[in-house]
């Protein structure tokens, strides 16, 4: 049985439904990331796990115990807040020890626990300082220290890195991952940054407007997005979503896409059964930029790589790669080429479509075709 389990959870503020029938679970030591655009309900979901918000319907279990009715302090959780929420009137030491002090842990035991955590997070030299005397990264560590010292069943992180500058954010991300691997803690982590989600998670839950869009491993979410929203949200640059038509062509199926001057056709992947029924109909053809590249740079282990000539509008050299932009199906499409690919803007060049990585969506329901 899962360690943290959320069953059919719903939450409404008056007439407004914030979360609708959400079911999730994560095993012990798992890293669950809740991701979505702002206002999707991810922070509310985290707050319901913390007990800071009540739920309207459903159940929350931690280690087999239903905690939905318990106050936050009885749930055996610890939380790191976006603003760190360090008590401004207390020193670092008092901040970390406050929870233990409230629970009546003796002073010497408290000091020992604070010392261990401070050692682990390398903040031992800051213990006597007030939060206002710390830098952003140091505050972040103190906030984590306050959570770690509790040794809870589940850690909750509410966008903990969003107040840090870009470089520090990447460092802290690595540090959180390292901490997770070392301690084997169970973590629920909220972010709107899909790269954070991909790098940290063992399981990702993508939310939008209070609905769970998809729940799966990072690889599943990335390679088999359940619908157009997930496909578009995860990945940077995001997946190309090209309006296309499925046609019968020489007894097989082909994908036909409008270009700026005419039309190109490439053979459709045979592994997706649902395409046969779609012959003659419209689909959304989804292909990630790294699966659309110059033929020399294409994945040679790919089972089905199709080539087609496309007009390159714009080139964006990014150092490690060069992004080429073309028009397909009336949309801008990004191809990710090798950095030294010999392409000029305005040229017509062959592009390789790695159809092993391609996905198709129903334009009406926006769901992925399988």
Partner 1 sequence: MSASSPDIAVRHNILSRLLIHVALAVFAIYYLLPLYVMLVNSLKPLDEIRAGGMLSLPQTWTAAPWLSAWSTAQIGVEATGLRPYFVNSILMVIPAVTISTLLGALNGYVLTKWRFRGDTVIFGLMLLACFIPFQIVLIPMARVLGILGLAGTTWGLVMVHVVYGLGFTTLFFRNYYEAFPTELVRAAQIDGATFFQIFRRILLPSSGPIIVVTVIWQFTNIWNDFLFGASFADFDSIPMTVALNNLVSSSTGVKEYNVHFAGAILAALPTLVVYVVSGRYFVRGLMAGAVKG
Q: Which residues bind partner 1 (CB under 8 A)?
A: 47, 50-52, 71-73, 77-79, 81-83, 85, 87-89, 98-99, 102-103, 132, 146
Q: Looking up tokens 């991810």, which residue turns up?
A: 42
Rounded-to-integer distance, Cα 170 and Cα 50, Å: 26
What are the residues whose beta carbons fall under 8 Å from the beta carbon of 156, sequence distance 6 or more?
Answer: 46, 49, 50, 77, 78, 79, 80, 187, 188, 189
Residue 34 or 264 having the CB closest to partner 1 = 34
Cis check: omega of the bond before 237, within 30 degrees of 0: yes
Residue 51 or 289 having the CB closest to partner 1 = 51
CA 98 to chain centre: 32
Min dist. Cβ of residue 72 to partner 1 (A): 5
Rounded-to-integer distance, Cα 368 and Cα 22, Å: 20
Residue 34 or 287 having the CB closest to partner 1 = 34
Min dist. Cβ of residue 103 to partner 1 (A): 6
Residue 81 or 211 having the CB closest to partner 1 = 81
Min dist. Cβ of residue 314 to partner 1 (A): 42
Residue 51 or 269 having the CB closest to partner 1 = 51
Min dist. Cβ of residue 146 to partner 1 (A): 8
Rounded-to-integer distance, Cα 360 and Cα 276, Å: 12
Whether 204 and 35 have beta carbons less than 8 Å apart is answered as yes
Rounded-to-integer distance, Cα 178 and Cα 22, Å: 29
Residue 134 or 351 having the CB closest to partner 1 = 134
Min dist. Cβ of residue 340 to partner 1 (A): 47
Min dist. Cβ of residue 22 to partner 1 (A): 21
Residue 109 or 332 having the CB closest to partner 1 = 109
Instruction: Find, among 38, 40, 1, the residue nearest to 22 by Cα.
Output: 40
In which element (H, E) is residue 350 found? strand 348-354
Min dist. Cβ of residue 53 to partner 1 (A): 10
Rounded-to-integer distance, Cα 186 and Cα 46, Å: 14
What is the β-pairing status of strands 240-249 and 77-80? unpaired
Instruction: Find, among 310, 256, 305, 307, the residue nearest to 278 by Cα.
Output: 256
């Amino acid at each position: 049985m899962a360690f943290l389990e959320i069953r059919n959870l719903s939450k409404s503020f008056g007439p407004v439904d914030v979360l609708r029938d959400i079911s999730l679970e994560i095993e012990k030591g798992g890293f669950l990331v809740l991701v979505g655009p702002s206002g999707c309900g991810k922070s509310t979901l985290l707050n319901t796990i913390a007990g800071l918000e009540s739920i309207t319907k459903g159940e929350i279990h931690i280690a087999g115990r239903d905690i939905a009715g318990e106050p936050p302090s009885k749930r055996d959780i610890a939380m790191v807040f976006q603003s760190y929420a360090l008590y401004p009137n207390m020193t670092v030491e008092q901040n970390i020890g406050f929870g233990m002090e409230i629970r009546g842990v003796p002073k010497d035991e408290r000091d020992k626990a604070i010392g261990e955590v401070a050692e682990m997070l390398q903040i031992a030299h800051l213990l006597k300082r007030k939060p206002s005397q710390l830098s952003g990264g140091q505050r972040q560590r103190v906030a984590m220290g306050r959570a770690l010292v509790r040794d809870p069943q589940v850690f909750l992180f509410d966008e903990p890195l969003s107040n840090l500058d870009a470089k520090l954010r990447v460092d802290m991300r690595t540090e959180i991952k390292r901490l997770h691997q070392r301690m084997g803690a169970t973590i629920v982590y909220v972010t709107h940054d899909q790269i954070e989600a991909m790098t940290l998670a063992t399981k990702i839950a993508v939310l939008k407007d209070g609905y769970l869009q998809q729940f799966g491993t990072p690889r599943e979410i990335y390679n088999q997005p359940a619908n157009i929203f997930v496909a578009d949200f995860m990945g940077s640059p995001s997946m190309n979503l090209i309006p296309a038509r499925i046609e019968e062509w020489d007894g097989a199926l082909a994908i036909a896409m409008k270009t700026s001057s005419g039309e190109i056709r490439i053979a459709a992947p045979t592994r997706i059964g649902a395409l046969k029924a779609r012959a003659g109909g419209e689909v959304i053809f989804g292909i990630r930029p790294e699966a659309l590249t110059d033929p020399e740079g294409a994945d040679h282990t790919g089972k089905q790589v199709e080539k087609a000539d496309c007009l390159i509008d714009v080139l964006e050299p990014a150092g490690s790669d060069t992004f080429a932009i073309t028009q397909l199906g009336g949309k801008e499409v990004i191809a990710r080429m090798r950095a030294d690919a010999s392409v000029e803007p305005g040229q017509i060049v062959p592009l390789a479509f790695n159809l092993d990585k391609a996905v198709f969506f129903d334009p009406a329901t926006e769901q992925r075709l399988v």
